[in-house]
Amino acid sequence: MKTKTRISFGLAVLSVIGLSFSAHAASPTKAELKNGKAQFVENCAVCHQEDAIGKAGVAPSLTNPELLSIASDKFFMSTIRDGREDTGMPPFAHLGRKGVRDIVSFLRSKATLPNRSAEIDAQPDAHGDPRLGQQWYTYICSTCHGSDGNGYESEGAGTAIGLPGFLDKVSDGFIRETIKIGRSNTRMLSFQGPAGLANLTDQEVEDIIVYLRQQAKK
């Protein structure tokens, strides 16, 4: 009996310590947030606009609630560090790990939805028919994302979702979730449900993802 009490007490202490550790790691200091904002204004606002709200055809919103909710820190850090080749997004490795991390903390401070990135990145890979995916892509997605998926280069409002700079850094879950829920207050609407721009089935969404993955290998 006594041993049991001691064990559960020990566990309670451990979980309290664990909680305070993770809370600390997740919340940046005021100085870090201030630096992140300053770095954003200096390096990013020219394209991503003030408060990172984005501008169609110029640069996407970085404070969009759905993006912040599904994108991991790893996605943000590596995209900012490496940029996206063959698009208008330049690499920022010269800001250093701390500079980039502070910018990500600043962007995260604008989040209004819970961070679901771990769950989304753990989703299974897509399985489907790339030929059917291509038909849907050409029919619905190419108007904004370009027939080759090169985005703004083809005068579309959407980003370059067919290029390695995007595809190499995202999970199938990230793409799946973006197609299903869209991004509020941008031209990227949801493509599922009665309110969607189209009402794609789960399998049709899988087909599109498989098509995008196959294209990128060419």
Contact residues for ligand HEC, defined by CB under 6 A: 43-44, 46-48, 54, 56, 59-62, 64, 67, 76, 79-80, 84, 87-90, 92, 103, 140-141, 143-145, 151-152, 157-161, 166, 175, 178-179, 183, 186-188, 191, 208
Query: Coil, strand or helix: which one is 215?
Result: helix
Q: Which is nearer to ligand HEC, 59 or 120 (CB)?
A: 59
Single-letter amino acid, residue 6: R
Question: Min. distance of Cβ 212 from ligand HEC in angstroms?
Answer: 7
Question: Min. distance of Cβ 182 from ligand HEC in angstroms?
Answer: 8
Q: Which is nearer to ligand HEC, 4 or 194 (CB)?
A: 194
Question: Min. distance of Cβ 11 from ligand HEC in angstroms?
Answer: 39
Q: Which is nearer to ligand HEC, 7 or 42 (CB)?
A: 42
Q: Which is nearer to ligand HEC, 24 or 74 (CB)?
A: 74
182 in the Ramachandran plot: left (φ > 0), alpha (ψ -120 to 50) or beta? Answer: left
Q: Which string of DSSP letters, residue by residue, matches 126-137? A: P-S-HHHHHHHI
Question: Min. distance of Cβ 199 from ligand HEC in angstroms?
Answer: 11
Two tokens at 170?
Answer: 């995202």
Question: Which DSSP category does 190 fall into?
Answer: -
Q: Which is nearer to ligand HEC, 167 or 218 (CB)?
A: 167
H or E segment to which residue 101 belongs: helix 96-108
Distance between CA 107 and CA 4 in Å, rounded? Answer: 45
Place of tokens 């919103």: 61
